[in-house]
Amino acid sequence: MRTPQQPMGTGFSAASTTADVIDGIELGGKTAVVTGGDSGLGIETARTLASAGATVVVPALDRAAAAAALRDVDGVEIDEMNLLEPTSIAGFASRFLARGRPLDILVNSAGIMGAPLGRDARGFESHFAVNFLGHFELTSRLWPALAAAGGARVVSVSSWGHRYSTVHFDDLNYRHRRYEPLAAYGQSKTADALFAVALDHRGQGDGVRAFTLHPGSAMTPLAKYATEQELQAVGVLDTEGRPVIDPSRDLKSVPQAAATHVWCATSPQLAGMGGVFCMNCDIAPLISLEIQAQFTGPAVRPKIATPLGVMPYAVDPQMADRLWSVTERLLGLTFL
């Protein structure tokens, strides 16, 4: 039975922090992998999981830079991986599996946003390649360790930005349509959400449950392609260039924005559940089709910036299955 896409009433809120959701949770003896764990919300996620006793493995583009960023965090191991390179993903997974450890938590948090048009060596558009395809391949290669955990969770970080685009199966890589950075980002975030739906359905037999989420807007290196003026225009920075913190409007501190990562990865409130889109440390409401129709892409800016929930197309099981099949074909692999 599918978990209903409707809020549970968890007692948490948009203002809840990683410290709030990890309180009372013991992760001693558990192992987690956090991509993007050397930057932004990933650092906070890695630090929080480690603080509860987990061994946290962070695969990073630059091992030395990651070591410097995580130097004050105990219980973290650093390895190398580039989500744009299949051989690098395979190498990291092979090294992890060789140690024979079960993998209890996989947080697919690394990503890019608003980048100029770029492609990997295979021709895949960069947002789709980094945010979705690389994590799909990583999860598939780590599956033996996830299945061995006897109750693992896979958390794929999506975004309210999924409203900017559904998945365009007829032109995934912008070969025939005009490139728009936010639309490309939106397509990749919708794909991340659909991945959780399909993975949860397929992984339950191995005891693996999957979740996806919108973390909230926080000032992190993810915004590196935006100018200060652009960030001020959308209200993320004030006139002095300082981050605006107002959880009621989805403008969060880093510990508040990373809280839903940690909640999805560890909360006993989600026991026996999966395949749902979460926000503010709860399951998100499903947006009505009438409201969905108001969002036709980044050219139409919604008047309400605060997230409303999840678009129906981002949690549609049929679309999730279609994306799964297309992705296996694109990557030349069979996953579950």
User: Sign of dihedral through CA atoms 111, 35, 82, 187?
Assistant: negative
Asked whether residue 3 is assigned to any structural domain, the reply reads no
User: Residue 183 is part of which domain span?
Assistant: 18-225+255-331
Per-state percent for the chain, helix, strand, coil, to nearest 5: 40, 15, 45
What CATH code is carried by the domain that includes residue 211? 3.40.50.720
Q: How many domains does the chain have?
A: 1
Look up residue 191 and give its two tokens: 């794909």
Orientation angle between helical segments 40-51 and 259-266, nearest 10 degrees: 40
Q: Which residue has the tokens 């299955």?
A: 321
Asked whether residue 236 is assigned to any structural domain, the reply reads no
Asked whether residue 6 is assigned to any structural domain, the reply reads no
Asked whether residue 237 is assigned to any structural domain, the reply reads no
> Cα 311 from chain centroid?
16
Q: What is the pTM of this model?
A: 0.95
Q: Please tell me which residue in 164, 174, 185, 313 is annotated as part of the active site.
A: 185
Q: What is the C-alpha to C-alpha distance for residues 34 and 223, in angstroms, rounded to an integer?
A: 20
Asked whether residue 93 is assigned to any structural domain, the reply reads yes
Asked whether residue 234 is assigned to any structural domain, the reply reads no
Examine the residue annotation and report whether 185 is marked as an active-site residue of this protein. Answer: yes
Q: In tens digits, what is the pLDDT along the chain, a chain of 336 residues?
A: 689 999 999 999 999 999 999 999 999 999 999 999 999 999 999 999 999 999 999 999 999 999 999 999 999 999 999 999 999 999 999 999 999 999 999 999 999 999 999 999 999 999 999 999 999 999 999 999 999 999 999 999 999 999 999 999 999 999 999 999 999 999 999 999 999 999 999 999 999 999 999 999 888 877 778 788 877 877 788 888 888 899 999 999 999 999 999 999 999 999 999 999 999 999 999 998 777 777 654 554 544 467 889 999 999 999 999 999 999 999 999 998
Asked whether residue 120 is assigned to any structural domain, the reply reads yes
Asked whether residue 301 is assigned to any structural domain, the reply reads yes
Three-class DSSP labels, 145-207: HHHHCCCCEEEEECCHHHHHCCCCCCCCCCCCCCCCHHHHHHHHHHHHHHHHHHHHHHHHHHC
